[in-house]
Amino acid sequence: MDSSGTHDANRAYYDAFSAGYEDHRGDNDPGGYHDLLDELESEYVKRYGAGRDVLEVGCGTGLVLSRIGKFARTARGVDLSPGMLEKARARGLDVVVGSATALPFEDNQFDVTCSFKVLAHIPEIELALQEMVRVTRPGGIVLAEFYNPYSLRALLKRFGPAGRIAASANESHVYTRFDSPFGLRKLLPKGTLLIGARGVRIVTPTAKVMKTALGRLIFRAAERALCDSPLRIFAGFYVAAIEKRS
């Protein structure tokens, strides 16, 4: 499938996903697995983006973006799926339809540009990273999340069944790639420097283990203790902090 075909397939996938996307997220499962992931990701954005202008690429229904809006000077979002953005707009968020490989923003517009669980579904990932860097101001930060092949999550995805996301769609219907933390420098655009990273979902095997109060207590504590430790290289979601030098 060529890039335009992947683009259309991704849009159709996420439009289908949008109907039930929040069934086990946000207010429908406070304190649960997805809530923990959103917390760890948005808190990492806060480290670099408090009081600054932030863009989220692939903002979906706005669950993370709404958290960012609580500490950023401005918080904007862009997503490929009109279905997802309908829910984001209902939250009152500043969002537009657009592609990660052709962001609808001027150069040097944001202090922090972030993306979570999106780049793994883009074949032209280098172009998407270039676009994120382009719209970020010199000295600013790009936070790019990758699917890590050296993780428990990757092992389960490889050998387990494809998860159903709608009546007519499952995870096998979307392009997915895995990029090793050890090879990320090869993907980075010129004029950038990898300055840090956070690991999300290091020891949690599945979302189901956080359905009970005891499971939430154990895995929340473990993930928070390990997210910035050397064990982050085994996280299912590896968030790289990339500084734009020029």
Q: What is the CATH number of the domain that holds 154?
A: 3.40.50.150
Where is pLDDT greater, at 162 or 21? 21
Mean pLDDT for the stretch of residues 52-70? 97
| Averaged pLDDT score across all residues of the chain | 90
Residue 194 structural domain: 3-244
- Residue 25 confidence (pLDDT): 81
For the stretch 123-139, pLDDT in tens is 999 999 999 999 999 99
**DSSP states along the chain:** --HHHHHHHHHHHHHHHHTTTTTTSGGGSTTSHHHHHHHHHHHHHHHHHTTSEEEEET-TTSHHHHHHTTTSSEEEEEES-HHHHHHHHHTT-EEEE-BTTB-SS-TT-EEEEEESS-GGG-S-HHHHHHHHHHTEEEEEEEEEEEE-SSSHHHHHHHHSPPPEEETTEEGGGS------GGGGGGTSPTTEEEEEEEEESSS---GGGGSSHHHHHHHHHHHHHHTTSGGGGG-SEEEEEEEE--
User: Which carries the bigger pLDDT value, residue 228 or residue 29?
Assistant: 228
Position 78: which residue type?
V
Residue 28's pLDDT is 73
| The pLDDT value given to residue 2 | 45
pLDDT at 220 over 90: yes
Q: What is the pLDDT of residue 27?
A: 75
Report the number of distinct structural domains present in the chain: 1
Residue-wise pLDDT for 149-201, tens only, equals: 999 999 888 876 655 555 565 566 678 999 999 999 999 999 999 999 999 99
